[in-house]
Structure 1
Amino acid sequence: MKKIFFALALILFAKFNAQGWKTDEQYIQKFATYAVEEMEKYKIPASITLAQGLLETGGGQSRLAQQGNNHFGIKCKEDWNGKTMTHTDDAPNECFRVYDDPRDSYEDHSKFLAYRPYYVNLFKLDMMDYKAWAHGLKKAGYATNPRYAYILIDKIEKNKLYEFDKTNSREVLYAVLKMYPDLKNDRIFMARLDQSGSSGNPVTVKVPYEQTSYAKQQKNVEKIVSKAETLQSILIKSHPNGGKKFVIVPEDIDLAAISKKFQITETTLMKWNELDGTQLKRNDILFLEHKSSTGNVATYKAQVGESMHDIAQKFGIKLKKLYSKNRMDYGQQPTSGQLIYLQSKKPKK
């Protein structure tokens, strides 16, 4: 009986959504993914795209959005060969573009800005400066309303849309969940997140929803959000030894999560970092490219408990080269205070 009820609920939910979203929050939860995907492809701030979508559609309620999947009020123009509909805007019965899916509308909006000379100066702006983009759109003639820029800025700040400028398409659903934590009780959203294949190796709930306790659901969501926050906090650094790219692991995490975040295979990361397992520990150093064959300093005194691998990671030097320079057998570990050679070979006795 519960399964039948759940199936009916899904049908009603889909029908309700087809009629449009009643609030700005629901619009954001639905379309933030599209805005972030477009940001990655065309370098247009997701906050700007979402704010424009919210404004143009009235939170998804406009006739153009509901009947034509047109979320940005883009008119036919001479270069449009797709479906059309008439709608009264600045003048009666104007021609507007119709899309098969809202995603197509989002991409067409990106192309509209990216491929027209009026907007070329927008792409010289800092992508994190949503205020400059808002004023730039108004200056370029995107809208006639003299307060257009301020309206966009108000939408962005009221809804914290600037948070989406800091994320990516692999982690955007986590950003939505963090912004709207009540979604952890939303079956459909959690299923969407679970099936998204997003970065961070999300926890999959295998048992049917009806048989999962609320406490367990909450625990799973907390794990998902925590892992997403951990991944978002990882920043690429340049190592003093040749500027090699590396990261410092902020918390215990599986290598798979790092692999997905930076789009580097686990096998490659293991090879570059001479790893014999996939479990990373807090404060581990992980290189995102080949390490150097020599150090940037001549020698180093080993600290208590340090392994040769620890030293190799600390100085960005290949482990085999480090063993060779110090005339040590592979697998042998240094003693506290031992002088480790990083550039030239240890002198023979």
Structure 2
Amino acid sequence: MKRLFLLISLLVLSKFSAQTWATEDQYIQRFAQYAVEEMEKYKIPASITLAQGLLETGGGQSRLAQEGKNHFGIKCKEDWTGKTMKHTDDAPNECFRVYDDPKQSYEDHSIFLATRKYYTKLFDLDMKDYKAWAHGLKKAGYATNPRYASILIGKIEKYKLYEFDDVNSKEVLYAVLKKYPGLQEDRQFMAQLEPVKEKKKTIAPTPKTQSQPKVYALAPEKKERVKTRTEILNSILIKSHPNGGLKYIVIPEDTDIQFIAKKFKISESKLIKWNELEGNALAKNEIVFLESKNSAGNTATYKAEYGEDMYDIAQKFGIKLNKLYAKNRMDEGQKPSSGQLIYLIDKKPRN
């Protein structure tokens, strides 16, 4: 019985500290404060920021949110000097920013919108017109999904996130409590209200009118045994590339082409040809295709990152190297500069 009580206590205490959110409601409870604080600093509607966070992270469940505390899918870019992680988005092993705290991710998202020329017109909009902001983000090219604006608006209206556009950072916890009265039973949450309670006597949480389902984060799992190098290599899984579903793998540990050929029953000569390899050695995180690459990419252009060469880009986007050189009118072996626009489909014709 004591063990059961201890387990329940741990579950409750981990509710707000763990990096796992079982529902979108929990995500709102945890991050509404950050969204409102950013609204005060950068004039971006809290409803928009929260809806984007919900969508980008799948309610806090995405790998980027869990491991990198990156809630808005912001990539490294040439000006990022902090921690990074590899993640598949438009292409395998793309570089994404890693933060020490989700709060940093929220602020970086605000800075991203406030300092990019593509989004300047957004700040001419009424800050409480979440529909105009949603459509403005889509028009500015924030996302490629044609339904992006309607999806954001759907999230905002489903959870009434527009209510957070009318509060300030000192009132937001009360707004959360009004929305989720069941949090009155959560000591950690209620403790956050104490410093504000004396100053804000006019704002009071609504009485609990109906029982609210309790959803607790899972307790941290026990650390698994560290796998050996052989076990890691034998666990390689075939993935589907965003560029036409090409079959590829990401090398988890340094190995050689012979091992991959034997494991996947493909001749060494084909693997070397398909991946335009010059030797047999394969390094950790290297992308290896298990079939011939395509002649074009799945997106029109890409900005080269610092230190990348054309081979890196060809592997990242599943394009034959000679085709990539041709599209960009570059000589074989020529390296792109950091930030250079690389054409993945067809370069615009000369005037």
| Interval of TM-score (by shorter of Structure 1 and Structure 2) | 0.5 to 0.7
Question: Do residues 99 (structure 1) and 106 (structure 2) align?
Answer: no
Q: 2:181, 2:205 within 8 Å by CA — same for their partners in 1?
A: no
Instruction: Describe the superposition over 1:243-268 as per-residue Cα deviations: whole angstroms up to 9, x where unpaired.
Output: xxxxxxxxxxxxxxxxxxxxxxxxxx
Which amino acid is the alignment partner of residue 65 of structure 1?
A
Q: Which runs of 5+ in 2 are unaligned?
A: 207-351
Which amino acid is the alignment partner of residue 178 of structure 1?
K
Offset at residue 190 of structure 1 (A): 1.2
Partner of 1:224: 204
Instruction: Describe the superposition over 1:4-28 as per-residue Cα deviations: whole angstroms up to 9, x where unpaired.
Output: x689825763278524101110000
Instruction: Describe the superposition over 1:177-213 as per-residue Cα deviations: whole angstroms up to 9, x where unpaired.
Output: 11111212222211222245784059xxxxxxxxxxx
Which amino acid is the alignment partner of residue 87 of structure 1?
H
Distance in 2 between residues matched to 1:140 and 1:173, nearest whole Å? 32
Instruction: Describe the superposition over 1:300-322 as per-residue Cα deviations: whole angstroms up to 9, x where unpaired.
Output: xxxxxxxxxxxxxxxxxxxxxxx
Q: 1:171, 1:198 within 8 Å by CA — same for their partners in 2?
A: no
Q: 2:16, 2:30 within 8 Å by CA — same for their partners in 1?
A: no
Partner of 1:31: 31
Partner of 1:133: 133
Distance in 1 between residues matched to 2:97 and 2:79, nearest whole Å? 11
Distance in 1 between residues matched to 2:82 and 2:145, nearest whole Å? 28
Distance in 2 between residues matched to 1:108 and 1:155, nearest whole Å? 22
Distance in 2 between residues matched to 1:196 and 1:40, nearest whole Å? 18
Partner of 1:175: 175
Distance in 2 between residues matched to 1:8 and 1:56, nearest whole Å? 31
Partner of 2:346: none
Q: 1:171, 1:199 within 8 Å by CA — same for their partners in 2?
A: no
Partner of 2:62: 62
Residues 127-276 of structure 1 mapped to structure 2, 5 A cutoff: 127-195=127-195, 199-201=199-201, 224-225=204-205
3-state SS of 1:85 partner: strand
Change (3 A) 1:190 1:10: farther
Distance in 1 between residues matched to 2:16 and 2:139, nearest whole Å? 38
Change (3 A) 1:12 1:181: closer
Q: Which has the higher helix share?
A: 1
Offset at residue 116 of structure 1 (A): 0.7
Q: Which has the higher contact order (CA 8 A, sep 6+)?
A: 2
Q: 1:18, 1:66 within 8 Å by CA — same for their partners in 2?
A: no
Offset at residue 139 of structure 1 (A): 0.4
Residues 312-331 of structure 1 mapped to structure 2, 5 A cutoff: none
Distance in 1 between residues matched to 2:48 and 2:140, nearest whole Å? 15
3-state SS of 1:183 partner: helix
Spell out structure 1 runs of 4+ moving beyond 4 A: 5-8, 195-199
Distance in 1 between residues matched to 2:12 and 2:160, nearest whole Å? 30
Q: Which runs of 5+ in 1 are unaligned?
A: 203-222, 227-349
Which amino acid is the alignment partner of residue 29 of structure 1?
Q
Distance in 2 between residues matched to 1:25 and 1:119, nearest whole Å? 29
Offset at residue 78 of structure 1 (A): 1.1
Distance in 2 between residues matched to 1:103 and 1:48, nearest whole Å? 16
Q: 2:85, 2:96 within 8 Å by CA — same for their partners in 1?
A: yes
Offset at residue 150 of structure 1 (A): 0.3
3-state SS of 2:106 partner: helix
Instruction: Describe the superposition over 1:304-345 as per-residue Cα deviations: whole angstroms up to 9, x where unpaired.
Output: xxxxxxxxxxxxxxxxxxxxxxxxxxxxxxxxxxxxxxxxxx
3-state SS of 2:36 partner: helix
Instruction: Describe the superposition over 1:212-235 as per-residue Cα deviations: whole angstroms up to 9, x where unpaired.
Output: xxxxxxxxxxx8327xxxxxxxxx
Aligned length: 206
Offset at residue 100 of structure 1 (A): 0.3
Change (3 A) 1:196 1:10: farther
Which amino acid is the alignment partner of residue 102 of structure 1?
P
Offset at residue 40 of structure 1 (A): 0.0
3-state SS of 1:146 partner: coil
3-state SS of 1:225 partner: coil
Instruction: Describe the superposition over 1:25-73 as per-residue Cα deviations: whole angstroms up to 9, x where unpaired.
Output: 0000000000000000000000000000000000000000000000000
Distance in 2 between residues matched to 1:79 and 1:35, nearest whole Å? 24
Offset at residue 142 of structure 1 (A): 0.4
Distance in 2 between residues matched to 1:16 and 1:194, nearest whole Å? 17
How much identity, in percent, do the aligned residues show?
74
